[in-house]
Amino acid sequence: MDTSKVLHMNGGLGNNSYARNSSIQKNVISMTKLMIEEAVMNLCSQTTHATLVVADLGCSSGPNTLYTVTEIVRAVENLCKVTGHRPPEYQVFLNDLPGNDFNTLFRMLPDFQEKYPKSEERPRCFFSGVPGSFYGRLFPCNSLHFVHSACSLHWLSKVPKHIENNERNICTARTSPPNVLEAYHEQFHEDFTMFLDCRAAEIVSGGSMVLTIAGRRSNDQYSNGCCYVWELLAMALQEMVSEGLIEEKKLFDFNVPGYTPTLEEVKSKIENQGSFSISNLVVLEVNWGAYDSKINSGVSSEGEGGINVVKCVRAAVEQILLHHFGDGIVEGCFDRYKKLFVDRVSKEEKVFTDVCVSLIRK
């Protein structure tokens, strides 16, 4: 599977859209607010910029990217109040894969401007959409001051090769053979290094980058976080195979292009690539149950008879399931997924883990 041709979050503003089901990611971004603020302060306290060029990579089609831009702009404007400097204009590039629903995102831009009721206090933000993979060059050399990317770099550029023996698993899992674990790690290494090479070319010396990556704490590749999301999805698909609703071979042929690194893995790839210094590196954790006030009853706090976390997962992975299995299995798969999820979360405490790093271009 070539991720750039298949992957996109559910578009539009409907019940299953990413725009309406991305509260987990919003919470993760809000936990990194301080890190974003520190990076921006560091960037702007050294030089004044007439135009600050900002890019959000893997922006998707919901409100979270505009929330991030708001936080970046707020940090700059606050700093300018303290220093007495005139605030810059902002050129903001919103990047995602070509299949992303950029139109839904662009329709949210007037609301972004209207958040500032007095027109004279409105920051001058000039937005552009940039379709393309962040595992390649997206911008000219030395053209960016600040790069942000949240909850996106766990998506690999493709499913690793030679993992046919992963069988009933759909990603790294407890029962994955060692070659599968190695292949996923190798693909992450290749992709993340390419990502850093490209950004090293594009970001000016002294420029900043804040990355939040769905990750894991333990060295076991199947320990928790995203792997757990995939493990439950694999169980739902396996149930459908047992019931004769999906061919076993179809499941054996399906693997997801996802990898959740540890803090140590992220650190070592950055150090080996060599173009950035690390100014902050932390692990963040969010409890799954925190998103569902009525988790045990199976009724979501949004009152739509679903579970918020399950809906967030569906908004993110539905398209790759559709691509491989066709649309006949999707409802059944997510009904089973919801039951498995409610059962597990009521018995065990589970957390989403993210590795968050703030970098400065040397």
Ligand X SMILES: C[S@@+](CC[C@H](N)C(=O)[O-])C[C@H]1O[C@@H](n2cnc3c(N)ncnc32)[C@H](O)[C@@H]1O
**Contact positions vs ligand X (CB under 6 A):** 3-4, 7-9, 22, 25, 29, 58-60, 62, 64-65, 95-97, 100, 133-135, 150-152, 155, 157, 316
What is the full DSSP assignment across 146-211?
A: EEEEES-TTB-SBPPSS-GGGTT-SSS-TT--HHHHHHHHHHHHHHHHHHHHHHHHHEEEEEEEEE
Say how many CA atoms lie within 13 Å of 269 toward its Cβ: 19
Tokens 């810059």 correspond to 88
Residue 17 has phi, psi (to 5 degrees) of: -75, 155
Q: Tell me how far the alpha carbon of residue 242 is from its chain's centroid.
A: 32
Work out how close the CB of 21 gets to ligand X at its nearest, in angstroms, rounded to a whole number.
Answer: 10
CB of 177 to ligand X, least distance (A): 26
In this structure, is the dihedral angle defined by the CA atoms of residues 217, 218, 219 and 224, taken in order, positive or negative? Answer: negative
Rounded to a whole number of angstroms, the minimum distance from the CB of residue 308 to ligand X is 14
Residue in 66, 74, 49 with CA at minimum distance from that of residue 127: 66
Query: Is the CB of 21 or the CB of 172 nearer to ligand X?
Result: 21
Looking at beta carbons only, is 87 or 133 nearer to ligand X? Answer: 133
Q: Least CB distance from residue 110 to ligand X, whole Å? A: 20
Closer CB to ligand X, 11 or 88, in the complex: 11
Cα within 13 Å of Cα(51), Cβ side: 10
Q: Which residue in the shown chain puts its C-beta closest to ligand X?
A: 58
CB of 153 to ligand X, least distance (A): 8
Nearer Cβ to ligand X (136/274): 136
Q: Which of 97, 93, 29 is nearest to 354 (CA)?
A: 29
CA-CA-CA-CA torsion sign (48, 50, 56, 62): positive
Please state the closest distance from residue 53 (CB atom) to ligand X, in A.
18
Between 152 and 246, CB nearer to ligand X:
152
Residue with smaller CB distance to ligand X, 105 or 251:
105
What's the Cα-to-Cα distance from 313 to each of 25, 109, 270, 357, rounded to whole Å?
11, 25, 29, 24
CA 18 – CA 32 distance, rounded (Å): 20
> Minimum distance from CB of 157 to ligand X (Å)?
6
Q: Cα separation of 312 and 20, whole Å?
A: 9
Q: Which residue has 């691509």 as its token pair?
A: 323
Distance from C-alpha of 224 to C-alpha of 232, rounded to nearest angstrom:
11
Nearer to ligand X, 240 or 286 (CB): 286
Is 5 or 294 the residue whose CB approaches ligand X more closely? 5
State in angstroms the smallest separation of the CB of 212 from ligand X: 8
